[in-house]
Amino acid sequence: MSVNWSQLQTLLWLRWRLTRNQWRRGGAVNVVIAIIATVIGLGVAAAGFVGGVAGGAMALGQASPTTIMYVWDALAGAFLFFWATGIVAEIQRSETIDLRRLMHLPVTLREAFVLNYIVSHFRFSILVVLPAMLGLALGLIVGHGLVMALLFPLVLGFFFMITAWTYCLRGWLVALMVNPRRRRAVVMGITLAFVLLAQLPNLVFNVWPGGPRHVRGKVPADRAAAEEFMAATARKNSAMKHSLEVANMTVPPLWLPFGAGELAAGRVWPAVWGAAGMWVLGAWGLRRAYRSTLRFYAGQTRRKPAAPRAVEAAAKPGGLILLERELPAVPPAAAALALANFRSLTRAPEVKLALGTNVAIMLVMGLMAFWRTRATISATVSPFAATGVVVITFFGLVQLLFNHFGLDRSGFRALVLTPASRSHILLGKNLSFLPFALGVFAVLELAAVVLARPPIAAIAAACMQFAACFLVIGALGNCFSIIAPYRISSGSLKPTKLKPLMTLIIVASQMLFPLFMAPVFLPVGLGALCAHFGWLPGGAVNLVLSLLLVAASVAVYGFTLKPLGRLLERREQQILQVVTQEVE
């Protein structure tokens, strides 16, 4: 197929114009940062090419095939990581340039598909890594001979395969995310999966039995035991090396490092077959992407036939629906708003993303922190672990708790028109977040109980401290939500364009959060101090002071609720303008 170069030039210009418009909408500061990042990227690309040539010619000129394979493993792994990060960052836009608009031009769908595929992969990760790989291949030709020239089809096949299957994934996502609600759920799921995969190396190297952390240790003083220790270490290293070699032979993205190592060893055919396999896989992925695009734009997407409607059974008297229920000791207006907002939050992908990311990251960090030291955690330190879970719980939810109305968007009009007291609105908003905070706290506290084994008194005190922190953070969240509201984009936790003063307030609230949470450590700290000097039992002191902290928090929350309600009544028009204004 012949390529219309004038159309390709036009599409490249269009891609640049869209990127420039995105920079301009971000403000002058973002434009300057983007220009600086572009200059740095070009400099890094040039430096990577020169460094690759020098490293391949001098540093790897006499290196073993295994070392060369590991170097290429590092380059391929770094590229795949940054490439996946870019996909997650731009997953909400399945096409760089919408094919529907290209179809208005005098081009066929195949030509538009190929042109869009070409212009959609001018990415920062390719700009940085591709010159470094090409430079390294050129340097290895100087250091190991002309046989290393086969690295060029290997490198190009690697990038072709990755970009082709990425484009196939994007085409599949555009058909999957036609439904806006499904689209937001997919974005949330992919982002959460990427966060978990990014933490996988930490689990393997720091937690998993047999990892490098578990191999290391002090060599026994006895000679026989020392020899046995060194032999066991050598066996584990050999097994790990064998696993890496098998992975390089079987995983397609790692055929490039495997081929580089084989070429350095003088074996040509593994590199030839690896390059051919990557080019074939890339062509297959591009063909699948084109066929799925053709089916989508021709309206031939597969859909399950609608199931026949069952005969409606006789109406039976049902129970109360969620919004008709009442909460004990809560005013009816506040209870209705709490239940309605709770239902809205359970359906919001942004909240699921915040909760899932918080729990996943904290569990991984907890495993890394406690797994190797669980035998050395003393009875004095374990109560602090139970209390630390309280702080971690709210630290992951501070963006939601300090911006009650950011997720409401146009729905905030209903709150403005409701005749309910504004203090009841704030109370309902706080209660709607309680199940989420309580769920995260329960999961993390259970993990702390398993890993740190705190005493029962410390666990009971942590539950009281959670209640106190929820009340204090609720009052602070009400204040910041009224003073500094901002709209959160649908399907993500990204705030819309903010004014400098608003940005400063948000940053200040985030930085002052540890100061707000400092009083929660007073009961456990004073309890540990009393137990250390033998004045009073530490657990009893922790419990009593935690109970007093709850009482003080109830008083503070009740004292601030009505004044903040009056402040909300005065500022609700400004909040309405902020949270309902869409910024493209």
pLDDT at 391 over 90: no
Q: Hey, which bits of 141-200 come out as E strands? A: none
Summarize pLDDT for 347-384 with one digit per residue, the tens: 776 677 667 666 666 666 666 655 555 545 667 778 88
Summarize pLDDT for 40-83 with one digit per residue, the tens: 878 888 888 888 888 888 888 788 888 888 888 888 888 887 77
Bigger pLDDT: 467 or 65?
467
With vertex at residue 61, the alpha carbon angle to CA 60 and CA 62, rounded to the nearest 5 degrees, is 90
Tokens linked to 115: 């042109």
Quote the pLDDT of residue 531: 86
Bigger pLDDT: 457 or 7?
457
* Residue whose entry in the numeric block shows the structure tokens 């896989």: 281
Query: Quick one: DSSP state of residue 378?
Result: -
Q: Is 3 exposed, middle or buried (0-12, 13-18, 19+ CB in 10 A)?
A: exposed
Quote the pLDDT of residue 92: 46
Summarize pLDDT for 542-575 with one digit per residue, the tens: 899 999 999 999 999 999 999 999 999 999 888 8
Percent of the chain topping pLDDT 90: 11
Going by C-beta distance under 8 Å and a sequence separation of 6 or more, which residues neighbour residue 472? Answer: 516, 519, 553, 556, 557
Please report, for residues 233, 363, 459, the alpha-carbon distance to residue 369 in angstroms, rounded to integers and kept in the order given.
24, 10, 19
- What is the rounded average pLDDT of the residues 240-253? 80
Among the residue ranges 165-174, 203-212, 415-424, the one predicted with the least confidence is 203-212
Tokens linked to 74: 């590092």
Please report, for residues 33, 63, 198, 236, 254, the alpha-carbon distance to residue 241 in angstroms, rounded to integers and kept in the order given.
42, 17, 22, 9, 15
Distance between CA atoms of residues 128 and 137, nearest Å: 15
Please report, for residues 209, 409, 415, 472, 480, the alpha-carbon distance to residue 567 in angstroms, rounded to integers and kept in the order given.
56, 20, 15, 18, 11
Distance between CA atoms of residues 213 and 30, nearest Å: 42
> Which of 14, 38, 15, 34 minimizes the C-alpha distance to 24?
34
DSSP string computed for 322-351: GGG---TTS-HHHHHHHHHHHHHHHT-HHH
- What is the rounded average pLDDT of the residues 113-130? 75
pLDDT at 93 over 50: no
Among the residue ranges 49-53, 311-315, 354-358, 476-480, the one predicted with the least confidence is 311-315
Going by C-beta distance under 8 Å and a sequence separation of 6 or more, which residues neighbour residue 318? Answer: none
With vertex at residue 130, the alpha carbon angle to CA 125 and CA 136, rounded to the nearest 5 degrees, is 135
Quote the pLDDT of residue 58: 84
Tokens linked to 327: 């909460």
Tokens linked to 295: 């089916």
Query: Quick one: DSSP state of residue 179?
Result: S
Distance between CA atoms of residues 69 and 201, nearest Å: 19
Phi, psi torsion values for 247, nearest 5 degrees: -65, -40
Quote the pLDDT of residue 221: 53
> Which of 428, 412, 571, 430 minimizes the C-alpha distance to 487?
412
The model carries a pTM of 0.58
Q: Is 526 exposed, middle or buried (0-12, 13-18, 19+ CB in 10 A)?
A: middle
Bigger pLDDT: 247 or 222?
247
Measured between alpha carbons, how far apart are the two ends of the chain, in Å? 37
Distance between CA atoms of residues 265 and 64, nearest Å: 8
Bigger pLDDT: 421 or 515?
421
- What is the rounded average pLDDT of the residues 511-531? 85
Calculate the average pLDDT of the chain.
76
Quote the pLDDT of residue 584: 43
Bigger pLDDT: 186 or 419?
419
Distance between CA atoms of residues 361 and 355, nearest Å: 10
Q: Quickly state the pLDDT bin for 219 (edges 50, 70, 90).
A: very low
